[in-house]
Amino acid sequence: MDSPSRLQEDIQAVRERDPAARTALEVFLTSPGVCALGWHRVANWLWRWEWFLVARIVSSLSRWFTGIEIHPGATLGRRLVIDHGMGVVIGETAVVGDDCLIYHGVTLGGKIQASRDETTGKRHPTLGNGVLVGAGAAILGPVTIGDGATVAALSVVLTDIPAGALALGIPAKVKKPPKAK
């Protein structure tokens, strides 16, 4: 399991990115995102040890307490901030990089499959490091969002988004291409 330093990193990340977060104690006691990440670490540990039912129960309890649904099989990076959090859904094969910021109502989900045979393997998005996902956005299917990209609020992403880009709309299109190097 994770050391207390992981929790301290989570709390510090919230304090750095949320101007309403006044103290570490306040964040620890009142942040649904920090709470959900803690529950997820337990559920993910159980999942990796193939205690699938117990992991799903822990995940369900977390959803009940926080309003944030994170599948125990999801892979989450360090210093992830889930701000407000209510209605966030993160699917089983989703991968979220380090230093990401996810607002309320975001879905990192799968697309509708034509048959049961298509439900194996990678079905959910991968977010690079430093990705920001605005409120109500949906990123669906095994797409990749590059490092430092921004997905605007209420956008629906169905294709890969390059690093540093701004994706916006339904379906999302790249509106601000990444800066040339």
Catalytic center residues: 104
CA–CA separation, 30 and 43 (whole Å): 21
Beta bridge partners of 145: 127, 161
The structure tokens listed for 123 are 């079905």
Distance of alpha carbon 65 from alpha carbon 61, whole angstroms = 6
> Which token pair is 70?
């994170």
Which helix or strand (DSSP H or E) is residue 25 part of? helix 24-30
Q: How far is CA 161 from the centre of its chain?
A: 16
